[in-house]
Amino acid sequence: MSTIHLHRTTALTPQQYIAGLTDFRPGRSNVFGNSADEYLQLHHLGPTRADVTEGSRGVWERLHYDWSNPNRVVLTTTDSNVWGGASGHTYTFRRRRDGATDIDVVVVREGKNLKGWILSLVLGTMGRSVLERAFENSVQAIESRNPVSDEFERVAV
């Protein structure tokens, strides 16, 4: 099992990032590269929860999204062709005095078969940079949709 911790500070509010994270329309792969449109299947969407299958390059997982807490989003893997056990993602948001938001992500990958065990080992070692780049790309893509407010620019300068 691999547990990867990621961090990014952004001008986005938690609500802005959560809106991007929970946008399951076609084109999601432009924000989340590991969520190719041909894998994307929205099974259920509620006001603070969703049941979604997504993936790419031969790896898919069904995730239960829960964003009922405005400072945390939990994605729990409920089915997958490679991931099992405690697999999932937890996003935690903390607003800073300067108007920025700290986003901390914990990714847990527990393989349920040989392919999953190998991928988990790779992600826990040299594959970490792939997850960091994907996270950075998602933040930048959502930032490009949400212009920085004048208030943040004044405080941050």
Mean pLDDT of the chain: 92
- Domains of the chain by range and CATH? 2-156 (3.30.530.20)
Report how far apart the first and last C-alpha atoms of the chain are (Å, whole number).
42
Interval 49-75: pLDDT, tens: 999 999 999 999 999 999 999 999 999
d(CA 66, CA 99): 25
Region for 58 from its dihedrals, namely left if φ exceeds 0, alpha if ψ lies in -120 to 50, beta otherwise: left
pLDDT bin (cut points 50, 70, 90) of residue 157 is very low
Cα dihedral 24/89/6/59 (nearest 10): -70
Please check whether residue 152 is in contact with residue 99, taking contact to mean a CB–CB distance below 8 angstroms.
yes
Interval 109-144: pLDDT, tens: 999 999 999 998 888 887 788 899 999 999 999 999
Please check whether residue 55 is in contact with residue 48, taking contact to mean a CB–CB distance below 8 angstroms.
no
d(CA 108, CA 88): 5
Please check whether residue 131 is in contact with residue 119, taking contact to mean a CB–CB distance below 8 angstroms.
no
Rounded mean pLDDT, 7-31: 96
